[in-house]
Amino acid sequence: MPIAHESSLRTAIITLAFLLTGPTAFAQSGAYYEPLNEKLPPGFTADIMARVRHDDMFWLQPVRVELPTAGTVSVYSATPVPIVTTSAPAQFSASTGHFYRLRIADMPEFPGEEIYPSIEILDRLHPPAGSAANYPIPVVLTEADLKEALSGRMVTRVIYLENPRSAAQKDPLRRNPRATLDPTDNALQEAGMYGRPMMIVRIGGRIPSGPNMPLSYFGSGGTVDPGDSVPAGSGVVKLSDRKRAVESLARGND
Amino acid sequence: MKSRHLSSRRLMAWSLLGFGLIIAPGCGLSSGLHREPDHVYSDTTPPMLQQQPGVQPLPARAHYPDENETMSATGSGAQPDGVVRLGGKQQPSTAGELSRTAIANSKSNAAKPSAQHSEFVLASYQPDDANSSHPGEPVFTQADPRLETGDKCFPRNQMETIAPAPLADLFPDEYVFDGGDRDLSAAMHTNRSGLDTEDTVAAFADHTGELRTTASNRVAVYAPRFGSVRTVTGLVADVKVDKAIGAKDNITVGNLKTGNAAQENVHDTSLSGLETRDRVDGMKGALPPMQNKRMEIAGQNRKVDEGHEGRDVKSPGIFHRKDGIEIAEQMQNAITWTRDQFPVITATTTNASEISARFKVQQKVGVKDERETRGNVRIVKLADRDEARPGDTITFTINFQNTGDFDVYDVSIVDNLTPRLAYVSGSAEIDEKHPGEVSVEPNGEGSEILTFKLDKPLKGHTGGTITFEAVVR
């Protein structure tokens, strides 16, 4: 009975959030109506898209987290204990249709600061067999993004797979990002115009208040693989290599 | 009660009878249906694929995802003129390994244009149990070629894709394609119409003077690239949101536009209030339009014209000297026609004579031209790698061949690179047997159009190789 009650409550909350944020997307101009947007609760869009596409639930999509220079990256999945802690750039694999919480710390540009961004994996790649680890979804946290987050703002990036036929000459992910959208715009729909939305990255200044944080804050419970297929030299430290992980954390750099 | 029961039984019986009548024709139809096979095979080599004498095999290799169901032209006595789809059978999902094999073969063969063993894959399919077919089984016939083979009935846009994975067509945004002729068919002789990015086509003129364009196959290289869009919200951004809602200020600007005094004044001026007042003041008769209307009455002019006509009527009373001559001539004619001397008309007919001659050929001197099939340029495009990251260099190889008997002229091979590829300057090369020139021009979409023009006509059943490099952006 409590489970049913919790389920109905969750459904009601999600429906309410959808109704509250839906008109914002509907009011904007566009070629089509996109009911989903980046302002929905973390995990909602990924869950909807996973149900629609019927993705392979056993597929783990490689993800690569890059920081301006160095730092440590911890990955949470519905548990207050990180599944993996490694030095940046960090690469791991996670199931699509879920969101995960990250902890970014030990950045030389921001000493003593830590932020907890979330990543929501919307879609997956289909690389040739054996090449999945060579093509992760890059999560590039720029110094400007981190400054905005530490100043109390919320930075939301929608990472999309670029359409090669309409590709820009420069790398749009790093050097030539698309213009920052208006907060009232639907970034998910805007990304859909340039390619296929793959991930929503939310970078905010919120810090867990303590052990009483709900588990839903740390993710929706997707599978995380620390990365057996991580290429050498990528900076990823496996959980089995705890000695190196501790050393990396101690140095704050690798 | 009993009668009701009987009536219900009767109703049920009629219902069953009606249902039987309804389904009976359906059963008959279904039993008579013969499902045609979706794809058909042939155990005979199509005429267009027959090997021609003196054919020099090309160091290229076109492949189908299932390597086991293709046959090499080496030793098979057949030279393919196109790749034929092996339809009607589910392809196993081992295309990655197979295509890598194909790429490896292409790499090894690209440097040996004069190799004795052709690596062209015969695309027609011969089932193992072709001779053991039983009556009642579907009859396999020739499959459709997927590359243009010189016959106009096949659309050119059906192109074969060489990809490292079988899902390349389902997820094309993860690949960089080059080659083929996507969207509109390219017509290079009409101002390059239909030449889209990724297209690789050959333009030429056959011995009849017809200008033709053929497309290559398509090469897929796995090279995904990502981008991102960003929004910033927060306390300050909320203020911006308020200002954005103050974009209702823009609405007020719009209101200013709609409340434009000038427009209102224009409308007020255009109102006919003044005219009404004029009419009230009795100024109606003095209005210029009314005066003009009266002045334009055609009756006055008509009367003037009629007066002129009247003068014309009276004019015969006035004789001028020249009129006197005419009158005298008319009088003489009248006198003449009063006689009984009617004019005599004579006519002579001259018969036309026609001379015809027929020459008979007494002797023929020369050599009989045994060439039958007209020239057709087929191009096969290959890449030296099936995966690439931004910054990697891909070497593309274009094998061209005239598969017909007659020569083809003005051969040019055009490659419109996708924006993800940047041509490496100076890397284009044509083999020594077919000298030509290479021109590079921007395509307006961030990449280049490479045009390879052969200096000499391409003889029948000969071919060559073009290579160039491109960097993945």
DSSP B138-193: PPP-PPPBSS--S-TTS-TT---EE-SSTTTTT-GGGEEEEES--SSPPBTTTTTB
pLDDT at residue B18 greater than cutoff 60: no
Residues of B in contact with A190 (CB under 8 A): 229
Of the given ranges (A181-190, B222-231, B453-462), which has the lowest mean pLDDT? A181-190
Instruction: Determine, for residues B232 and A148 on separate chains, whether the beta-carbon distance falls below 8 Å.
Output: yes
Write down the mean pLDDT value for chain B: 62
The mean per-residue pLDDT over the stretch A31-48 comes to 82
Contact A111, A121 (CB under 8 A): no
Helices (H) and strands (E) in chain A, counts: 5, 10
Asked if residue A16 is part of any domain, the answer here is no
Contact B448, B425 (CB under 8 A): no
pLDDT at B297: 36
Residue A117: pLDDT band (50, 70, 90) is very high
- A38: left (phi > 0), else alpha (psi -120 to 50), else beta? alpha
pLDDT at A2: 46
Q: What is the pLDDT of residues B316-373, one digit of tens each?
A: 455 566 677 777 777 777 665 555 555 555 565 556 667 777 767 667 677 777 788 8
Contact A183, B240 (CB under 8 A): yes
The reply to whether A49 touches chain B by the CB within 8 Å rule is no
Instruction: Determine, for residues B419 and A198 on separate chains, whether the beta-carbon distance falls below 8 Å.
Output: no
**Tokens matching residue B263:** 């427009």
Ranked by mean pLDDT, the top range of B76-80, B103-107, B444-448, B457-461 is: B457-461
User: Percentage of chain A surpassing pLDDT 90?
Assistant: 35
Instruction: Determine, for residues B229 and A125 on separate chains, whether the beta-carbon distance falls below 8 Å.
Output: no
Of the given ranges (A243-252, B235-244, B320-329, B434-443), which has the lowest mean pLDDT? A243-252
The mean per-residue pLDDT over the stretch B157-167 comes to 76
Contact A21, A37 (CB under 8 A): yes
HSE at residue A231, side-chain half, CA atoms within 13 A, is 13
Instruction: Determine, for residues B227 and A168 on separate chains, whether the beta-carbon distance falls below 8 Å.
Output: yes
Contact B175, A131 (CB under 8 A): no
- Min distance A175 CA to chain B CA atoms (Å): 10
Q: Could you tell me if the ipTM is greater than 0.85?
A: no
H or E element that contains B250: helix B248-258
Residues of A in contact with B232 (CB under 8 A): 148, 153-156, 180, 183
Residues of A in contact with B234 (CB under 8 A): 148, 151-154
- Measured between its terminal Cα atoms, the distance across chain A in Å is 50
The mean per-residue pLDDT over the stretch B68-75 comes to 33
User: Percentage of chain A surpassing pLDDT 70?
Assistant: 72
Which of residues A181 and A130 earns the better pLDDT score? A130
The rounded Cα A239 to chain-centroid distance in angstroms is: 21
Cβ-Cβ contacts under 8 Å for B158 (sequence gap 6 or more): B146, B147
**Tokens matching residue A15:** 């429906």
Asked if residue A6 is part of any domain, the answer here is no
Q: What is the pLDDT of residues A72-104, one digit of tens each?
A: 999 999 999 999 899 888 999 999 999 999 999
Q: Angle of helix A2-27 relative to helix A44-53, nearest 10 degrees?
A: 90
Please state the φ and ψ torsions of residue B362, each to the nearest 5 degrees. Answer: -90, -30
Asked if residue A11 is part of any domain, the answer here is no
pLDDT at B195: 83
Asked if residue A117 is part of any domain, the answer here is yes
Asked if residue A223 is part of any domain, the answer here is yes
d(CA A120, CA A200): 5
Of the given ranges (A168-177, B89-98, B123-132, B327-336), which has the lowest mean pLDDT? B89-98
Of the given ranges (A197-206, A211-220, B8-17), which has the lowest mean pLDDT? B8-17
> Closest Cα partner for B84 from B12, B143, B36?
B143
Of A138, A161, A178, the CB nearest to B174: A161
Write down the mean pLDDT value for chain A: 77
**Tokens matching residue A89:** 């750039």
d(CA A81, CA A71): 19
Instruction: Determine, for residues A177 and B228 on separate chains, whether the beta-carbon distance falls below 8 Å.
Output: yes
Alpha helices (H) along A66-171: 143-150
What is the count of structural domains for chain A? 1
Window 81-120 of A: residues touching B by CB (8 A cutoff) are none
pLDDT at B141: 53
Instruction: Determine, for residues B174 and A194 on separate chains, whether the beta-carbon distance falls below 8 Å.
Output: no
Residues of B in contact with A145 (CB under 8 A): 230
Best of B226, B239, B385 to substitute, by most chain A Cβ atoms within 10 angstroms, is B226
> Closest Cα partner for B148 from B451, B422, B428, B403?
B403
Asked if residue A97 is part of any domain, the answer here is yes
Angle (CA) B408-B411-B415 rounded to 5° is 145
pLDDT at B82: 34
pLDDT at residue A34 greater than cutoff 90: no
Dihedral (Cα; A240, A246, A249, A254), 10-degree rounding: -70
Cβ-Cβ contacts under 8 Å for B199 (sequence gap 6 or more): B179, B180, B181, B182, B186, B215, B414, B415, B416
pLDDT at residue B260 greater than cutoff 70: no
Of the given ranges (A25-34, B146-155, B180-189, B464-473), which has the lowest mean pLDDT? B146-155
Please state the φ and ψ torsions of residue A156, each to the nearest 5 degrees. Answer: -120, 125
- Min distance A201 CA to chain B CA atoms (Å): 9
Asked if residue A50 is part of any domain, the answer here is yes
SS3 B358: coil
- Min distance B242 CA to chain A CA atoms (Å): 10
User: Percentage of chain B surpassing pLDDT 70?
Assistant: 41
Cβ-Cβ contacts under 8 Å for B179 (sequence gap 6 or more): B159, B198, B199, B200, B215, B216, B217, B218, B219, B381, B415
Residues of B in contact with A158 (CB under 8 A): 228-230
Residues of A in contact with B227 (CB under 8 A): 159-160, 162, 168, 172-173, 177-178, 191, 194-195
Q: What is the pLDDT of residues B274-311, one digit of tens each?
A: 333 333 333 443 334 333 333 333 333 344 444 444 44
Cα–Cα separations (whole angstroms), residue B432 to A71, A76, B248, B455: 56, 61, 70, 12
pLDDT at A173: 62
pLDDT at residue A161 greater than cutoff 80: yes
Of A129, A153, A159, the CB nearest to B226: A159
Residue A253: pLDDT band (50, 70, 90) is very low
Range of the domain at A197: 36-251
Of the given ranges (A120-129, A142-151, A245-254, B214-223), which has the lowest mean pLDDT? A245-254
Asked if residue A160 is part of any domain, the answer here is yes
SS3 A11: helix
Residue A242: pLDDT band (50, 70, 90) is very low
